């Protein structure tokens, strides 16, 4: 939240699975808006397949935690490898309390012999 309003930010992430638990790992700059976010956050990822007219959306709601990257093998296993690494020294995880999603697909499959299939 920023000034009592939700904020949406693009991030590099990695899905972290260990001991039957799932987290979303994120790296950011210390002191950034994300680094100073409230405890409760939401993380959304979407994807599309334009060839098959399909897509999907997943929403993770959970609590945001700072982690020490040198604890155990965290850095090696869960590094989200941000595109810009300089200064990205704040390591965060989202610990989910709810994961929901949906697949989007056409109402009916297009007939294989449709005229557009040959263009």
**Distance between CA atoms of 26 and 9, rounded to whole angstroms?**
12
CATH top-level class of 13-118: mainly beta
What are 73-88's pLDDT values in tens digits?
A: 777 777 777 777 777 8
Give this prediction's pTM: 0.76
pLDDT tens digit sequence for 7-41:
888 888 888 887 888 899 998 889 988 888 888 99
Residue 20, both tokens: 């039957």
User: Which is nearest to 24 in space by CA: 70, 79, 76, 101?
Assistant: 79
Residue spans per domain, the chain: 13-118
HSE-CB for 61 with a 13 A CA cutoff = 4
Confirm if 88 and 47 have CB atoms less than 8 A apart.
Answer: no
Is residue 74 a contact partner of residue 67, using CB atoms and an 8 Å limit?
A: yes
């Amino acid at each position: 939240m920023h000034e009592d309003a939700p904020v949406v930010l693009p991030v590099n992430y990695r899905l972290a699975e260990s001991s039957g638990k799932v987290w979303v790992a994120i790296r950011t700059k210390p002191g950034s808006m994300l680094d100073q976010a409230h405890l409760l956050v939401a993380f959304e990822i979407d994807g599309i397949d334009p060839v098959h007219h399909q897509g999907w959306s997943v929403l993770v709601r959970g609590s945001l935690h700072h982690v020490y990257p040198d604890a155990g093998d965290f850095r090696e296993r869960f590094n989200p490898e941000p595109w810009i690494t300089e200064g990205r020294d704040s390591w965060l995880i989202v610990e989910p309390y709810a994961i929901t999603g949906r697949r989007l697909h056409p109402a009916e499959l297009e007939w294989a012999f449709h005229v557009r299939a040959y263009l």
